Structure 1
Amino acid sequence: MSPSPQGTLLHIAERTHWESARDTGVSYTMSTLGRTLDEEGFIHCSSDMDQVDGVLGRFYTGIDRDGLVLLTIDVALLDAPVRYEPAGGELFPHVYGPVPIRAVIDVRSLPENR
């Protein structure tokens, strides 16, 4: 069963990579912590905050939250397809291409470890 299409996706970004893309106007191409779109083949995203919390707990322990931001991506503004694929018993959205700066409609700090 595939999830219903949603208007936005969430992506955990390293602040320096996001700010560099934003400041230069170049599409964002980091997939996940320390890995690029070219290396992974897609950009890892989450459907909701529950998935974000799970990803933070599994892959971002020990990472200073001040160095991370949460991007909200407007799916309608993407030029690349989004596929929902299984990982760890859940379906996660993956963006199969760069994220244009205009598609990032919100940037916020991440909550501290719980």
Structure 2
Amino acid sequence: MTTSATAFKVLTQQQWADFERERVFRGAPVDIADGYIHLSTAGQLEATIAKYFAGESCLMIVEVDLNLLGDAIRWEPARGGDLFPHIYAELPIHAVVSLQQRG
């Protein structure tokens, strides 16, 4: 299994503002419902945005250092059978290595 050292979480501006204020991200509604925080690799990111964030403006793309999360990361099959990184814990702000705004 090939895994990346970093992965991406797509957030709304409000979710990012809450993350910055609280210093931890507990998940978007879909994450909370599924029991883990969904991430995408660089190669999966555009398809994730197209599928789940179509028509959204001002998205915040958070790059996460997976090495800092240790055993909380699980690579699991999802869309199309591809392996996606999932966080089975809260995401601490210190694991964010870069941020870019879209839209």
Q: TM-score range by the shorter chain?
A: 0.7 to 0.9
Q: Per-residue deviation at 1:93?
A: 0.8
Equivalent residue runs for 1:1-114 within 5 Å: 2-4=1-3, 6-25=4-23, 27-31=24-28, 35=29, 37-48=31-42, 50-64=43-57, 66=58, 68-78=59-69, 81-89=72-80, 90-110=82-102
Unpaired runs of at least 5, structure 2: none
Q: 1:95 to 1:20 in 2, by over 3 A?
A: same
* Identity percentage of aligned residues: 25
Task: Give, in whole Å, the separation in 1 of the partners of 2:61 and 2:71.
Answer: 20
Task: Give, in whole Å, the separation in 2 of the partners of 1:55 and 1:43.
Answer: 14
Q: 1:14 to 1:47 in 2, by over 3 A?
A: same
Q: 1:80 to 1:37 in 2, by over 3 A?
A: farther
What TM-score do you get using the length of structure 2 for normalisation? Answer: 0.85
Matched residue SS, 2:2: coil
Contact 1:71 1:108 in 2 (8 A): yes
In terms of fraction of residues, the more helix-rich structure is: 2
Q: Per-residue deviation at 1:39?
A: 2.1
Task: Give, in whole Å, the separation in 2 of the partners of 1:82 and 1:74.
Answer: 11
Task: Give, in whole Å, the separation in 2 of the partners of 1:104 and 1:80.
Answer: 17
After superposition, what is the alpha-carbon deviation per residue over 1:31-75, rounded to whole angstroms, capped at 9, x for unaligned?
A: 4xxx15432211110111x311001111111222x1x10001111
Quote the RMSD (CA, aligned, Å). 1.8
Letter in structure 2 aligned against 1:3: T
Q: Structure 1 segments of 4 or more deviating over 4 A?
A: none
Number of equivalent positions: 102
